[in-house]
Amino acid sequence: MTRCAFIIDRDLPPGLIANTAAALSMTLGKLRPGLVGDDLRDADGVEHPGITTIVMPILVSDAEGLKGLRQRAAEHEPAGLGVIGMTDVAQRAKSYDAYRDRLAATPQEALRYLGLCLHGPAALVRSLTGALPLLK
């Protein structure tokens, strides 16, 4: 069974929390299109585009916790764990080209993660995120 969890820096302002979750969700949809259900119709026949077919909790951590989680998660990528990260480099970029150039010049240890999306085997995602609190 597939599980997904978003982990966002709890110290971000609400607008950046929402933006981070939205950006991570778009990438998840690109990587895992099977997680989006079929389009549906309501009782009046109005079509509604498909939405996620799985629960996607939004959990919180702090910047240091996100960095450590990213490192631990990387060890499980060969076992099928997918890891998507949103960094300060991405958030500050005014264009995708600027993001590409800045990211290429930034070593991993200098990145500050604003959020992560972990997706893959349910037991693996739970083992990495089970102790994290929900966003409230």
Q: How many domains does the chain have?
A: 1
State the DSSP string of 37-106. Answer: PPPEE-TT--EE---BSS---EEEE-HHHHHHHHHHHHTTGGGT-EEEEEEHHHHH-SSHHHHHHHHHTS
What is this structure's pTM?
0.92
- Here the CATH number for the domain that contains residue 19 is 3.40.1490.10
Residue 21 belongs to what domain range?
A: 2-129
89-134 pLDDT, tens digit each: 999 999 999 999 999 999 999 999 999 999 999 999 999 999 999 9
In a domain, 44, yes or no: yes
In a domain, 134, yes or no: no
52-98 pLDDT, tens digit each: 999 999 999 999 999 999 999 999 999 999 999 999 999 999 999 99
In a domain, 136, yes or no: no
